[in-house]
Structure 1
Amino acid sequence: MHLMMILSALTVSWLLRCSKNNSQGRWQVRWRRSLFLFLFPPLLIFMTAIAVLFMGPQGQMGGMYTGWLSYELVFMALTFFAILCVKLAFQGWQSVESARKSPRVNLEGKQVRLLNTKALFAGQIGFWQPELVVSQGLLQTLSPDHLDSVLAHEQGHYYYRDTFWFFWLGWVRSCTAWLPNTEPLWQELLVLRELRADSYAASRVDPLLLAESLLLVVSNKSVVVESGVCCAALGTSSVGDRLEQRIEALLAPLEPIPSEQLQSWHSFLLAFLPLATVVFHS
C-alpha cells in the first residue's frame, strides 16, 4: 500500500511538471503559476515520504499489509535530501564568510561590504539577514543617481528575503532535478525574482535610471551574471531575452505591487493530504 502511495505521488508530480508553463503576462501572475509548478510536486513527494516514514514498516493500511521496502526507500531518499541540504548550507556559509573578508564601508548611510575588484557587482549575500556587497568598480563607474537605483534594487531583494527563500528553493531544485522542467522553472523564478526587485525599486527611483544601470552592469565584460548560493545580485538572469524582459518592464507604466494574498497559498495545502493517510494505518 505504501508503494502505491509513493507511485501515485510520483505520477501526479510528473504530470504536473509536464504541463506547459506560460512565460507571458504580468510577473505577479507568472510568479504564482511558476512557483506552484516548481514547488507543489516536490512538496507532495516530501509529504508522502514523511507519511510513509511515520507509519513505519509494520501494520496494515486499507486491508493491505505494509513492508520494509517502501520504508527503506523513503528513508534513503529523505537522508539523501538532508545531505543535499547540509551541502548547500555549507556552500552558503562559505559565501558569507568570503564576503565578510571584505571591509565594511559606509555608503549613503548604509553599511556595505566593499569588494576589491573592477567588475561591476552589487548583491545581497547571506540568509535571513544578508549583507549588501558592492564592488569598487561599481562605485567608480556609476553616477550617484545610478548607484541609488542599484541600491534600491538590492533593497528589494532584502525586503522579500530573496536570499533566504531561494536557498530553500535551490535545495528543492537539487532534490528533484530528475523531474521534468525543473531547470526551466528555476530559471523562470530567477527572472521573476529580478522583475520583482526591479518593480520594488521602480516605485522608489526613476525606472529609466535603473534600466540604464542594469545595461551598464550587464555590458561590463567582467561582471558576474549568475548568483551563487545565498546570493541575489543585480545582474542575475540578465542575458538575452531575460534582459529584454526586465528593460521592457522598467519602461512600461508602473503597476502597483499587490500584497501577498493568503488565497494563493491554499492550493499548496493539497500537498499535505498524504499526511492524512496516517490515520488509516494500523
Structure 2
Amino acid sequence: MHTGFLLLTLGLAWLIRARATGAGTDWRDRWHAALQSFVLPPLLLIMTAIATLCMGTQGQMIGIPVGWIGYSVAIAFLGWAALSLVWFAVQAGRTLRQLPIQESVTVYGRLGYVVELPTLFAAQIGLWTSRLVVSRHLLDTLSPEQTEAVLHHEDAHAHYRDPFWFFWLGWIRHLTHWLPQTEALWQELLLLRELRADQWAAQQVDPLVLAEALLAVVSAPAIALPDYGAAFGAIAPSQLLEERVNALLSSPPSGSCALSAQSWLWLLWALLPLALTGLHS
C-alpha cells in the first residue's frame, strides 16, 4: 500500500505542475499562482514520504497490507532530500566566500560591504539577516541618484527577506528539477521578486533613474552568484529585462505581491498525507 500511496502522490504532483499556467497580469494572481504551483508538489512528496515513514512496515491501510518497498523508497527520497539540501548549502557558501568581502562600511547611510570587483555589482548576501554588498566600480561609475536607486532596490530584498526564502525555493528547484515546468516557474518567481523590488524602489526614487541604473548594471559583466543572493541585475534575458523596464516606465502595477494569511490556505493540502496516517492500523 505504501508504494501505491507514493505513486498516487507522485501523479498528483506531476499533474499540478503540468497544468500550471499563467495567471494574467495581476501581480497578486501571478505571484500566488507561481508560488503554489512551484511549492505544493514537492511538499506533497515530502509529506507523503514522512507519513509513510511514520506508518512503518507493519499493519494495514484501508485493508491493504503495507510493506518494505514503499517504506524503503520513502527513506531513500528523504535521504536524498537531506543530502541535496546539504550539498546546496555547501555550494552556495563556497560561491559567497569567493567574493572579496572586507570590513563593513557605511554606503549611502546603510551598513554594507564594498568589494573590489571590475564590474557593476549590488546584492543582498546572507539568509534571514542579509548584508548589502556593492562593488566599488558601481559606486564610482553610477551617478549618486542612480546609486541611491539601486540601493533602494536592495533595501526591498532585505525587507522581504528574499535571500532567505529563495534559498529554500532554490533547494526545491534543485530537488524536483525533474518535475514539469520547474525552470519556467523558477524564472517567473525570480522575475516577480525583481519586479516587486523595483516597485518598492520606484516609490522612493524616480522610476526613470532606476531604469537607467538597471540598464547600466545588466550591460556590465555578470558575477556568478546563487539566485537567492538577490542581485540587482539578476534578470538578464532580454525579454525579462524588457518587462522590468516597461513596468518601471508604465503606471504602477495594481495589487501587491505581499502574501496574506488567506493566500497560504493551499498549504493545508500539503498536510493531507499526514492526515491519512489515521487510516493506518
Common topology (TM > 0.5): yes
- SS of corresponding position for 1:179: coil
Do 2:18 and 2:180's aligned partners in 1 also have CA atoms closer than 8 Å? yes
Q: CA deviation at 1:90?
A: 1.6
Give the % identical residues. Answer: 45
Matching of residue 33 in structure 1 with residue 11 in structure 2: no
CA shift for structure 1 position 80: 0.6
Contact 2:26 2:254 in 1 (8 A): no
Aligned to 2:270: 271
| Alignment of structure 1 residues 13-52 onto 2, 5 Å | 13-22=13-22, 24-52=24-52
1:43-90 deviations in Å (ceiling 9; x for gaps): 111111110011111111111110011111010110010001111122
1:20 Cα offset (Å): 4.2
TM-score (norm 1): 0.94
5+ long unaligned stretches in structure 1:
none
Once the two structures are superposed, residues 111-170 of structure 1 have per-residue CA deviations (whole angstroms, 9 ceiling, x without a partner) of 211111120000011111111110111011111110010000001110111100000001
Moved more, 172-181 or 17-26: 17-26
Query: Could you tell me whether the CA contact under 8 Å between 1:195 and 1:249 is conserved in 2?
Result: yes
Q: Is 1:251 aligned with 2:241?
A: no
> Which amino acid in 2 is paired with 1:17?
R
Paired residue for 1:178? 178
- CA shift at 1:214, angstroms? 0.1
Q: What is the CA deviation profile of residues 206-242 of structure 1, one whole-angstrom value per residue up to 9, with x for unaligned ones? A: 111111100111122x233x64154110011132110
Q: Using the alignment, how far apart are the partners of 1:260 and 1:73 within structure 2? A: 35
Q: What amino acid is the match of 2:261?
A: L
Native 8 Å contact 2:195 2:244 kept in 1: yes
Equivalence for 1:199: 199
* Partner-residue secondary structure (3-state), 2:102: coil
Q: Which amino acid aligns with 1:207?
A: P
Q: How far has the Cα of 1:96 moved from its partner?
A: 4.3
Q: Find the counterpart in structure 2 of residue 164 from structure 1.
A: 164
Q: Answer whether contact 2:114 2:133 (CA < 8 A) is retained.
A: yes
Aligned residues: 280
> In structure 2, what is the Cα distance between the partners aligned to 1:279 and 1:254?
49
Report deviation, 1:23. Answer: 6.6
Q: Where do 1:90-239 residues align within 5 Å? A: 90-99=90-99, 101-220=101-220, 222-224=221-223, 227-228=225-226, 230-239=228-237
Indicate conservation of the 8 Å contact 1:119/1:223, yes or no.
yes
Question: What amino acid is the match of 2:139?
Answer: L
CA distance in 2 between partners of 1:256 and 1:29 (Å): 11
* TM-score, structure 2 normalization: 0.95
- In 2 relative to 1, CA 187–203 (structure 1 residues): closer, same or farther, beyond 3 Å? same
Distance 2:206 2:24 in 1: 25
Q: Tell me if 1:260 matches 2:259.
A: yes
2:122 is matched by which residue type in structure 1? A
Cα contact 1:100–1:113 (8 A) shared by 2: no
